[in-house]
Homo-oligomer: A and B are copies of this chain.
Amino acid sequence: MTDTTAPLLSRLSLNQETVRQWSLPELADGCARAGLRGVGLWRAPVRAYGVAAAARLVRDAGLAVTSLCRGGFFTAEDPGERQAALADNRAAIDEAAALGTATLVLVSGGLPPGSRDLPGARERVADALAELAPYATERGVRLALEPLHPMYAADRCVVSTLAQALDLAERFPADRVGVVVDTYHLWWDDTVGSQLARAGATDTATGAAGPSSRIAAFQLADWVTPLPAGVLLGRGQLGDGAVDLRWFRERVDAAGYRGPIEVEIFNPSLWSRDGTEVLAEVVARFLRHVR
């Protein structure tokens, strides 16, 4: 690592779903050996390992937890389901706090079965954020609302663009609710540059205290085709696809974001390889396509 690569590389974080083949101890060890300073974790493997034990493991490896994925799924109409979702999100906030991360990624949820009411579902997301934000703030956790690609609007996430995510987040102080910028979900949108500028301008406009940007997390994956059935596991290694990753990084920088840059690639072809080799490739691609 040369002096010129160090500043940005020190922000690189590996989301654990990129190397699903690794156990949590392998992840902590592998990332520490590669010189990384952070990892993004998922709730299911963390809970299976034990939240306190996972927190200790990662801390002892000298790594920060850059985000916890994920809470959300707020769109149920049934009051019982809704209360269950809110309870589960409070648990996710507690887990984030225990892991020492300030960032809980939220995927809003899709349309309830049989529903065609997108505006109604989006309003229930806003209601859930209002209910959860104080609880999160008390525990030092910021809610990070993630817009997902429009191909997930029906069954996974009714928040499809950065503009929509900002519309929702701006109902709250910037230090309570932010947005996730994931290149895989947003790259196609001709308004994303102006929306990134909007995300950076938020606090300047309101004069509020808190983080200098609405951007709570920045995640990288490339867009490759053809998409697989179900369209969940077809993300591309950095540089393999259509996304101008450097353009995004520069715009996110310009929006005042100074936090971790997570690489989150869901792809079975990466999971079938040696994790150390995958991570080395991620670092090399990051230096080539993002720096």
A residues neighboring B (CB under 8 Å): 111, 115-119, 122, 149-151, 153-155, 160-161, 163-164, 187-191, 223-231, 241-244, 247
**Which of A187, A188, A224 has most chain B Cβ within 10 Å?**
A188
Q: Which 6 A-B pairs have the closest CB atoms?
A: A153-B188, A154-B242, A116-B244, A229-B229, A150-B188, A151-B151
Q: Is the CB of B116 within 8 A of A242?
A: yes
Whether B190 pairs with A118 at a CB distance below 8 angstroms is: yes
A225 B150 Cβ-Cβ under 8 A: no
Establish whether residues B153 and A151, one from each chain, have CB atoms under 8 Å apart when the complex forms: no
The minimal Cβ–Cβ distance linking A187 to chain B, given in whole angstroms, is 8
A-B contact pairs, 7 of them (CB 8 A): A117-B244, A118-B188, A151-B227, A154-B225, A161-B190, A226-B229, A227-B227
- Known: A111-B242, A161-B189, A227-B231; 5 extra A-B contacts, CB below 8 A, are A116-B247, A118-B244, A119-B190, A151-B231, A226-B230
Shortest Cβ distance from A193 into B: residue:
B119
- The answer to whether B223 and A154 have CB atoms under 8 Å apart is yes
| A122→B190 contact, CB < 8 A | yes
Nearest-CB distance from A133 to chain B (Å)? 22
Residues of chain B within 8 A (CB-CB) of A188 are: 118, 150, 153-154, 160
Q: Indicate which residue in B150, B230, B244, B247 contacts A189 across the interface (CB closer than 8 Å).
A: B150
- Contact residues in B for A243 (Cβ distance below 8 Å): 116
Q: Which residues of B contact A118 (CB under 8 A)?
A: 187-188, 190, 244
CB of A236, distance to nearest CB on chain B (Å) = 10
How far apart are the CA atoms of A116 and B224 in the complex, in Å? Answer: 12
A122 cross-chain contacts in B, Cβ below 8 A: 190
